[in-house]
């Protein structure tokens, strides 16, 4: 019998040390909103996205003439072109461009994952395409949830749980950690109604206060596109 | 309208910094098996339990003539009187005695929680008694799950979720963190069949390999006793 591959869910960047180095593929997830925005950008024909951790790095790119998105605490950082609303990445002027992005949690998680054989961008908007792609790779997979400032969040965990559930259901995969079992159950509890399930999510409340309900609805609508954004060196490109 | 108190669930000792100092009551939970064993000890009439973090401290107490339980990795540490099986704490010779205990995760969590106004021992075996006691206190509560070597575990989270759900249902409490919402849902998914739900739990598998299935059944059977073990200085006594 062929040996099964592992799929696990890591709740926060803080927890990543335990998983680091054991998985060929890291799926970075920041459903609200960085990885949803990245997927939307590629769906709109953006050429590449350069994720940077700090505002200082983002500013350097801006001074070189790049289009730069920067978000902290859910809001656009003053002086930048846009934040991390997926709708900002759907405009025609971004087609074919290289775009720089720095966000509170998502771009940090991407940079923490560097060093894995493959770092791929996951969200609900590209969920089924990503699952199909992962099954075709047949490698060990860890879903790295971006969380909120190193704390657990529901929406990233549910997305990781959806990936976990699909990979386990294929029979190619197994999982070993309680975090993966929990993520799978949270996905199964929420799959019929993400919006309802997440009404008590702290980040959803945070964004709702900022009048970002349209963004939330968009980010929680699964399978809108077939993009598979992958990190190559310091840039994310569509595979 | 009276302001509601908060109840939250902290998944691991590693996550505790975020919660520290904001809650008058910390409920320390290590379902498999430290906090279940502590409750059983008081139910059997033990006078006090002294939780120590290291084997060295445990040895010092042993040399002074104390009865000492020490467990690492699920097994009794050689040279000690017992480990953390609840059944070890039900023998007549322990009645009225002061017992020292050091375990892989649970006693460490107890020591991390020191500094809170009240540190209380939670498990499924004293669940309803604990919930009634907490409601009578009407203070802010954080459930500190011991986890497994700083990783998330299912059984402690489910116990925290059960406490969370009951306190929220009373109307006296609210919660703010996604970890608490997740714990509550995991409890609701598992409440009808803890054994079935936890069949995939990593720690249950670990203990099953050590032939500790009777211990697991015991620890997962809720509401067996009315003890409320509370930390006073360096000792736990029954309130």
Are A197 and A190 in contact, with CB atoms under 8 Å apart? yes
Provide the shortest C-alpha distance from residue A178 to chain B (in Å): 5
Q: What is the pTM of this model?
A: 0.94
Interface probe with A: pick from B146, B152, B164, B188, most Cβ of A within 10 Å: B152
**Banded model confidence at residue B211, pLDDT cuts 50, 70, 90:** confident
Are A213 and A198 in contact, with CB atoms under 8 Å apart? no
Question: Which homologous superfamily is A5-35+104-227+230-234 in?
Answer: ComB-like (3.90.1560.10)
Give the one of B152, B178, B181 whose C-beta lies nearest to A182's C-beta: B152
How far is Cα A137 from Cα A134, in angstroms, rounded to an integer? Answer: 5
pLDDT digits (tens, 9 = 90+) for A106-127: 888 998 999 999 999 999 999 9
Are B101 and B107 in contact, with CB atoms under 8 Å apart? yes
Mean pLDDT of A30-36: 95
Question: Which homologous superfamily is B5-227 in?
Answer: ComB-like (3.90.1560.10)
Give the one of A11, A186, A202 whose C-beta lies nearest to B185's C-beta: A186
CB hemisphere CA count around B65 (13 angstroms): 1
Mean pLDDT of A170-197: 93
Nearest chain A residue (CA) to B203: A178
Q: Is the pLDDT of residue A44 over 90?
A: yes
Whole-number pLDDT of residue B99? 97
**Banded model confidence at residue B54, pLDDT cuts 50, 70, 90:** very high
Q: Which residues of A touch B201 (CB under 8 A)?
A: 178, 181
Q: Is the dihedral of CA B94, B100, B103, B106 positive or negative?
A: positive
Q: Is the pLDDT of residue B231 over 90?
A: yes
pLDDT digits (tens, 9 = 90+) for B151-192: 999 999 999 999 999 999 999 999 999 999 999 999 999 999
> Worst-scoring range by mean pLDDT, A69-83, B20-34, B117-131, B195-209?
B195-209
Whole-number pLDDT of residue B64? 97
Q: Is the pLDDT of residue B63 over 70?
A: yes
Beta-strand runs (E) in B19-152: 25-29, 48-51, 67-72, 75-76, 98-102, 118-122, 141-145
**Scanning the structure block, which residue is given the tokens 């608490």?**
B180
Give A149 or B138, the one with higher predicted confidence.
B138
DSSP string, B154-183: HHHHHHHHHHHHHHHHTSSEE---HHHHHH
Whole-number pLDDT of residue B104? 87
Whole-number pLDDT of residue A185? 95
Q: Which residues of B touch A179 (CB under 8 A)?
A: 151-152
Provide the shortest C-alpha distance from residue A27 to chain B (in Å): 20
**Banded model confidence at residue B1, pLDDT cuts 50, 70, 90:** low
Are B124 and B37 in contact, with CB atoms under 8 Å apart? no
| Domain regions of chain A by residue span | 5-35+104-227+230-234
The answer to whether the Cβ–Cβ distance between B178 and A148 falls below 8 Å is yes
B33: preceding bond cis by omega (within 30 degrees): yes
Q: Which residues, 6+ apart, have CB-to-CB distance to B87 below 8 Å?
A: B40, B214, B215, B218
pLDDT digits (tens, 9 = 90+) for A54-91: 999 999 999 999 999 999 988 999 999 999 999 999 99
Q: Please state, for a pLDDT cut of 70, what percent of chain A lies above it.
A: 100
Give the one of A11, A150, A181 whose C-beta lies nearest to B201's C-beta: A181
Are A167 and A7 in contact, with CB atoms under 8 Å apart? yes
Which has the closest alpha carbon to B107: B235, B207, B237, B201? B235
Number of C-beta neighbours around residue A44 at 10 A = 17
Are B144 and B27 in contact, with CB atoms under 8 Å apart? yes
Query: In whole numbers, what is the pLDDT of chain A averaged over residues?
Result: 94
Q: Which residues of A touch B185 (CB under 8 A)?
A: 185-186, 189
Q: Is the pLDDT of residue A209 over 80?
A: no
Q: Is the pLDDT of residue A150 over 90?
A: no
- Residue A62 has phi, psi (to 5 degrees) of -65, -40
């Amino acid at each position: 019998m062929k040996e099964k591959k592992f799929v696990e869910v890591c709740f926060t960047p803080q927890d990543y040390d335990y998983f680091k180095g054991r998985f060929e593929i890291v799926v970075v997830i920041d459903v609200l909103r960085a990885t949803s925005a990245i997927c939307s950008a590629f769906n709109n024909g953006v050429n590449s996205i350069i994720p940077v951790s700090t505002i200082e790095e983002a500013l350097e790119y801006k001074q070189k003439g790049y289009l730069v998105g920067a978000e902290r605490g859910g809001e656009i950082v003053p002086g930048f072109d846009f934040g991390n609303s997926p709708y900002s990445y759907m405009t025609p002027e971004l087609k074919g461009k290289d775009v720089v992005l720095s966000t509170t949690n998502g771009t940090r998680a991407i940079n923490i994952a560097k060093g894995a054989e493959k770092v791929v961008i996951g969200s609900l908007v590209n969920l089924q395409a990503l699952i199909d792609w992962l099954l075709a790779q047949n490698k060990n997979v860890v879903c790295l949830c971006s969380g909120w400032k190193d704390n657990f969040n529901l929406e990233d965990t549910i997305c990781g749980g959806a990936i976990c559930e699909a990979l386990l259901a294929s029979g190619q995969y197994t999982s070993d950690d309680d975090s993966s079992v929990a993520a799978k159950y949270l996905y199964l509890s929420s799959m019929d109604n993400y919006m309802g399930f997440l009404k008590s999510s702290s980040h959803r409340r945070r964004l709702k206060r900022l009048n970002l309900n349209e963004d939330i609805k968009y980010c929680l609508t699964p399978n809108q596109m077939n993009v598979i954004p992958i990190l190559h060196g310091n840039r994310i490109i569509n595979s």
